[in-house]
């Protein structure tokens, strides 16, 4: 049994759609995925999700596969990945 803490990755993403989305709408879309994601934050149109380093690729694929949020067609693109919230925010969300 490992006692090591998991290594997290923070994935920045952008939601492009015909209207601005609320935080709760994006949260509901992330939790509706087959493997729900940890939601860190969202300020329209960019957000941040967390996963372990082992699930980074599947998380990116899941984010890019989102096509509908709150009944509205959208395109979700990942902007980048980082090991800390601070670095992800500085690089991709500011």
Can you give the pTM of this predicted structure?
0.90
pLDDT tier for residue 4 given thresholds of 50, 70 and 90: confident
CB 11 within 8 A of CB 78: yes
Give every CB contact of residue 90 below 8 A, 6+ residues apart in sequence: none
Model pLDDT for residues 24-78, shown as the tens digit of each residue: 999 999 888 888 889 999 998 999 999 999 999 999 999 999 999 999 999 999 9
User: How far apart, in whole angstroms, are the C-alpha atoms of residue 93 and residue 48?
Assistant: 8
8-93, CATH topology level:
Alpha-Beta Plaits (3.30.70)
Domain definitions of the chain by residue range: 8-93
């Amino acid at each position: 049994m490992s006692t090591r803490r998991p290594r997290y990755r923070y994935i920045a993403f952008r939601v492009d759609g015909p209207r601005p989305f609320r935080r709760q709408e994006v949260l509901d879309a992330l939790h509706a995925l087959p493997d729900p994601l940890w939601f860190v934050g969202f300020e329209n149109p960019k957000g941040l999700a967390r996963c372990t380093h082992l699930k980074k690729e599947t998380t990116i694929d899941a984010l890019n596969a989102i096509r509908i949020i709150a009944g509205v067609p959208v395109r979700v693109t990942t902007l980048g990945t980082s090991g800390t919230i601070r670095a992800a925010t500085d690089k991709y969300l500011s």
